[in-house]
Amino acid sequence: MTQRISAQDITGLVLAGGRGSRMGGVDKGLQNFQGLPLALHTLMRLSPQVGETMLNANRNLAAYEAFGAPVWPDTLSDHAGPLAGFLTGLERCETPYLLTVPCDTPWFPTDLAERMAQALNDASQTIAMASGLETDANGQTQLRTQPVFCLMPVSLLESLVRFTQGGGRKIDLWTAQHPTVLVPFNQAHDDPRAFANANTLAELQRLSS
């Protein structure tokens, strides 16, 4: 029987290595959110859910190090996006599993890790990926895959190295190579804002209220 995944088996990785292009080039993870740097808010929301935490950042490293978790920059040199953070996380992870969370989605579920681990246990798949409720321009609410929210075993490092060395940069093209279970966060108690992300300062302000 496969051993159940516990919180202590998981390292949570906050992805804060982006360029912040749609925020005017500012360091998104250091922007104010309810009186805290956005990435610190994310780290504090994630920490109780997992055994270990770390951050992926590519500038202002001292500021991120002040949050109290290890900080690792991308090992890929071309600002390869979230997948570069995945690679860094898998290289540095010392637990059997890595859970990735972007820094710009501050209301992600407080039971994210638990439900992702449960789904991975039950489905006997390799990767668990979240899917959350989103409202489109017509006011229709539907589930949408959230590929940056992934729970994966560290044994996938070799696969990701091969994929990125071959020029691959899209999360879904890499995860499609492995059995993946989608984890829906659409229960009655789930916050409809759970996977709303802030690409601009105005969106961040709206999420703060």
How many separate domains does the chain show?
1
| CATH number of the domain within which 194 lies | 3.90.550.10
Q: What is the pLDDT of residues 45-58, one digit of tens each?
A: 999 999 999 999 99
Q: Is residue 79 part of a domain?
A: yes
CB 15 within 8 A of CB 85: yes
Q: What is the pLDDT of residues 170-181, one digit of tens each?
A: 999 999 999 999
Question: Could you list the residue range(s) of the whole structural domain that residue 73 is in?
Answer: 7-208
| pLDDT surpassing 50 at residue 1 | no
Closest of 107, 89, 128 to residue 11, by C-alpha: 89
| pLDDT surpassing 60 at residue 70 | yes
Residue labelled with tokens 């055994």: 51
Q: How confident is the model at residue 22 (pLDDT cuts 50, 70, 90)?
A: low
Mean per-residue pLDDT of the chain = 92
Q: Is residue 122 part of a domain?
A: yes
Q: Is residue 1 part of a domain?
A: no
pTM reported for the whole predicted model: 0.94
